[in-house]
């Protein structure tokens, strides 16, 4: 009876060691994945910043082009006799420039957060 009890205790003890070893190994794997993720983020971050910056620059250039285009249209309307558009010669470029600048600043502020986002797997 005592030998049977000792054998069962040894089997249970062996199972405990095996399960704890597997648990430890899965924790190590998770840690390894965390380390890998950290290094990937570290090296991908500058590339993501450049990508986000290029997007902000493109949007700003598009906004500036829109302001100039609208101003040229307004000048054309005023010179062709639409005197009511004269006030727009001053207000449209100012409003357009302020809106473009606001979007550029908002985009620039958001670059670090957007560059740090995890890419979908």
Q: Tens digit of pLDDT for each residue in 32-49?
A: 677 777 777 778 888 889
Top-confidence residue, 1 or 43: 43
Contacts of the segment 23-32: beta carbons below 8 A, 24+ positions apart: none
The answer to whether 114 touches 52, Cβ cutoff 8 Å, is yes
Q: What is the CA radius of gyration of the chain?
A: 32
Q: Is 121 helix (H, G, I), strand (E, B) or coil?
A: coil
User: What would the pLDDT profile of 46-95 be if each residue is shown by its tens digit?
Assistant: 888 999 999 999 999 999 999 999 999 989 988 888 888 888 888 888 99
CA separation for the pair 1, 118 (Å, rounded):
60
Helix (H, G, I), strand (E, B) or coil at 82: coil
Find the angle CA(37)-CA(40)-CA(43) to the nearest 5 degrees. 150
Whole-prediction pTM:
0.61
């Amino acid at each position: 009876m005592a030998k049977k009890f000792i054998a069962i205790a040894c089997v249970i003890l062996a199972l405990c060691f095996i399960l704890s070893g597997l648990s430890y190994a899965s924790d190590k794997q998770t840690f390894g994945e965390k380390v890998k993720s950290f290094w990937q983020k570290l090296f991908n971050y500058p590339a993501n910043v450049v990508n986000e910056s290029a997007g902000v620059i493109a949007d700003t250039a598009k906004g500036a082009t829109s302001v100039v285009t609208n101003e040229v249209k307004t000048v054309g309307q005023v010179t062709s006799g639409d005197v009511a558009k004269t006030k727009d010669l001053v207000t449209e470029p100012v409003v357009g420039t302020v809106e473009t600048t606001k979007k550029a600043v908002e985009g620039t502020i958001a670059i670090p957060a957007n560059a740090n986002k995890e890419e979908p797997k």
